[in-house]
Structure 1
Amino acid sequence: MSWRLTCPIMSLLMLMLLSALAKNQAQAHTVFNIKDFGAVGDGKTDNKNALYDVWKGACRSKGTNVIVIPSGTYLLGPVVLTGPCNGAIEFQIKGTLRASNSPQLGIDHWITFRFIDRLRITGGVLDGQGAASWPYNDCRKNPNCKSLPVTMRLDFVTKAWIRHVTSLNSKNFHFNLFSCKDITFDHVTITAPEDSPNTDGIHMARSSNVFVRDSVISTGDDCISLGPGSKNIKVTGIACGPGHGISVGSLGGTPNEPPVTTVFVRNCTFTDTQNGMRIKTRAPSYQGVVQDITFQDIIVKNAGNPIIIDQQYCPSKKCRNQASKVKISDVGFRNIRGTTSSLVAVNINCSPAVPCTGIELRDIDLEYDGRGGKASSDCKNAQGTSHGKQKPPSCL
């Protein structure tokens, strides 16, 4: 082979080698152990400053940067970890992060991740120590109530994965997503007592492409709640209970709310929950839209209100007798079976101002788990169809 031929080939090989080296360098993992930044896992020392220092180092580094919380119990004050970062962040919790046991009135967060692309949170325990705050969670009765910390907030976060994380006894919501995209919760465990107020498991708003799967959620409020702007949401394999079930809403409380669309909930179990599958809108309300919602292959065990659309939702109990203006359409309940603690197992109470359309009841088999009656269904201002088994008899 002549020099004229080998020279271009060698140059090409060199370019390929340099490209591979650059790619490997970009994918390199840099480990930041919080103990190397002064953290102490004794359950008493506040490690907020240590976490801020380790975050600064990880966020400005390229490649994939791994923040390690090793075994031990690390007391942590409220933190806001802000991007954008130069690379991906993996937040490995091998021990326990513990919040203050004080009420922390007027603070709306414990751990916040904000403006981050490519975030992975794995393992460990988040102990919110919420019991100190629950007596102050009285916003439904007290108009001057103060905010309480959410265990983990994700604001403007994209491409995040939360896996094998346990959240205990949050002071307020356990997880709150706002304006996020491409988020996956996988094998998370969320626990708070049945009587703990406002301890929603996962709440989201103005977020899209959210996948919650194969998780156990036991709280004092909604296991999962979808606020305005929730779009392309998929929930599968959730064991919910106790709690208030999986809820779309409440909606219509503020003007110009973006719609809730394309929600698919499948293969979930509700045990001893206050509600099962619920859509709730305020009355009176501002205009809004709920569209393309599917609940499928659901088992309920002694659940109250297994199937409920409530367009007269009024948490303060002081609402005027006016109709909701949130339009609900194309909602399917398919293959729903089990036992109900409520005599009205299917309760579809839609707005007289904007009646529900496209409601589908398919293969419903719900039996009253009590004495002195049989399960029934009740529909108001609803248009739709019924197919297959209907127990109780369909009201559509």
Structure 2
Amino acid sequence: MAIAKSAVLILLFALVCNANGAPKLPRIAGPDMFKNKNVAKDVLLPGEQIINVMDFGAKPDGRFDCTQAFMDAWQKLCHQTTGPARLLIPEGRFLVSSMYFSGPCTCQTPVTIQVKGYVMATTDISEYENGDWLMFEKHNGLKIIGGGTFDGQGKKSWEYSENCESGADSVCARNPSSLFFSDSSNVVVQGIRTANPKGFHIFVTKCTNVRLRKLKLVAPETSPNTDGIHVSHSDTVIMSRNTIATGDDCISMIQGVKNVFINRLKCGPGHGISIGSLGKYQNEEEVRGIRIQNCSLINTTNGLRVKAWPDRFAGAASDISFSNINMQNVRNPIIIDQEYECYPDCKKKPSLVRIQNVHFQNVKGTTTSPLAVDLRCSKLFGCQGVTVRDIDLKFGDAPTTSRCVNTQPLFAGLLMPPACA
């Protein structure tokens, strides 16, 4: 009888927890297949079949539409091969439209896509009704390597770009991302370049065990909503040795992101590194466990930023650290902003997002504004467990200042600007 009652209680608890229909984060699918392996080294496996897109009719002239040839080659690789194999995009210029590279595949994993050439997106925005350019979904083991370039040819579409951040609701038709990864685990993207995306350069959502290494993501400073790497609803994402110069955030992380490690990023121009905006969606998942270190930000509009909407939905962000950051001519170096898009003199209800355990340490360089540390938190919750240590930010020969609203950070070490009064 006791066992039966326990089972009923567990069932009722599960029903209550799922009553709001909130999306579930994916779990890491088995062990990390790249653990203790040198992912930087590409070795052709014994008997590995090379499937060249040119064997399926692709022409490297930059004018012929190679979409069908790419899809036929992918069908051969992913669904008609059982042993080790790789998709080869050789040198040349290949024009393609929106494509799904969907799994799971029958070939041996990880699936390898070797890009040596220059892959160009078609410019007619009406061809992207699925929302993104190159979509990779439902993979357990995927490598994109080779030193090639993905060019989104986004210039013509930027004039139609919507500002999804400033909108009053969560409905916004964003421009297509260049590389979109969803529902996948054990993914490596290494040594490739993306240029001029219509929307984000790289979008990662509902993924686990993702490594983004030695990437160069470039777009004009004036290109709208061209975030470098955008991550949501994902667990264990490692980014290292990337160079990003774009028109929006170099890296942005929103709801459901956990266990992210960013090392040796070179960012700028752009809008810096952002967590948020938070509190935009109902039943929003927490952001937790973000480590950002050994990075440089050059000529960016923002530096290290946590941002949340006032008068929206509940959310949370915790266990976040920024350390060993060099800045050069950064307008707003250190920011917690819980009055996002409502400043100055915000009259809206306070943010419902709880922010705690955020740490800024060893941040040095120059700023283009005297307010170098700006921490504006929700008067409903405040920001808990914030530390600011060893900060040296100069504004020419003039002094820099700090502002703290609804938070009492722990200041320590060298402090330029001084601690909040």
Q: Same fold (TM over 0.5)?
A: yes
C-alpha distance in 1 between matches for 2:344 and 2:212: 34
2:159 is aligned to 135
Residues 223 and 315 (structure 1 numbering): CA distance in 2 closer, same or farther, change over 3 Å?
Answer: farther
C-alpha distance in 1 between matches for 2:67 and 2:242: 29
C-alpha distance in 1 between matches for 2:407 and 2:98: 46
C-alpha distance in 2 between matches for 1:124 and 1:166: 6
Give the deviation of 1:319 after TM superposition: 8.2
Q: Deviations over 1:52-86 (max 9, x none)?
A: 11111111223332100001000001001111112
Q: Give yes or no for the alignment of 1:91 onto 2:110.
A: no
Greater per-residue strand proportion: 1
Contact 2:339/2:346 (<8 A) preserved:
no
Q: Give yes or no for the alignment of 1:289 onto 2:298.
A: no
1:258 is aligned to 285
1:108 is aligned to 131
355-364 vs 99-108, greater mean Cα deviation: 99-108
Q: Give yes or no for the alignment of 1:117 onto 2:140.
A: yes
1:149-168 equivalences under 5 Å are 149-168=176-195
Which 5+ residue runs of structure 1 have no aligned equivalent? 1-25
- The structure whose Rg is larger is 1
C-alpha distance in 2 between matches for 1:320 and 1:32: 60
Q: Give yes or no for the alignment of 1:300 onto 2:327.
A: yes
2:394 is aligned to 367
Contact 1:244/1:273 (<8 A) preserved:
yes
70-79 vs 380-389, greater mean Cα deviation: 380-389
Aligned AA (1:81): F
Aligned AA (2:91): S
2:403 is aligned to 378
Q: Secondary structure at the match of 1:388?
A: strand
Q: Secondary structure at the match of 2:159?
A: helix
Residues 76 and 323 (structure 1 numbering): CA distance in 2 closer, same or farther, change over 3 Å?
Answer: same
Give the deviation of 1:383 after TM superposition: 2.7
Contact 1:239/1:268 (<8 A) preserved:
yes
**Over the residues paired in the alignment, what is the CA RMSD in angstroms?**
2.0
Contact 2:250/2:271 (<8 A) preserved:
yes
Give the deviation of 1:322 after TM superposition: 1.3
2:353 is aligned to 326
Q: Secondary structure at the match of 1:286?
A: coil
Q: Deviations over 1:23-76 (max 9, x none)?
A: xxx974221111111111110111111111111111122333210000100000
Q: Secondary structure at the match of 2:326?
A: strand
1:190 is aligned to 217
Q: Secondary structure at the match of 2:133?
A: strand
Which 5+ residue runs of structure 2 have no aligned equivalent? 1-44
Residues 53 and 315 (structure 1 numbering): CA distance in 2 closer, same or farther, change over 3 Å?
Answer: farther
Contact 1:107/1:148 (<8 A) preserved:
no
Residues 252 and 101 (structure 1 numbering): CA distance in 2 closer, same or farther, change over 3 Å?
Answer: same
Residues 160 and 28 (structure 1 numbering): CA distance in 2 closer, same or farther, change over 3 Å?
Answer: farther
C-alpha distance in 1 between matches for 2:418 and 2:263: 27
C-alpha distance in 2 between matches for 1:316 and 1:291: 24
State the identity as a percent: 36
2:24 is aligned to none
Q: Secondary structure at the match of 2:140?
A: strand
Contact 1:64/1:90 (<8 A) preserved:
no
C-alpha distance in 2 between matches for 1:266 and 1:94: 31
1:393 is aligned to 418
1:312 is aligned to 339
Residues 115 and 190 (structure 1 numbering): CA distance in 2 closer, same or farther, change over 3 Å?
Answer: same
Give the deviation of 1:357 after TM superposition: 0.5
TM value normalised by structure 2: 0.84
Q: Secondary structure at the match of 2:339?
A: strand
Q: Secondary structure at the match of 1:51?
A: helix
TM value normalised by structure 1: 0.89
1:351-362 equivalences under 5 Å are 351-362=378-389
Q: Deviations over 1:154-197 (max 9, x none)?
A: 01111011111100000000000010111111100000000100
Q: Give yes or no for the alignment of 1:47 onto 2:66.
A: yes
Give the deviation of 1:314 after TM superposition: 2.2
Q: Secondary structure at the match of 1:276?
A: strand
Q: Deviations over 1:117-172 (max 9, x none)?
A: 11000120001101001000134578896442110100111101111110000000
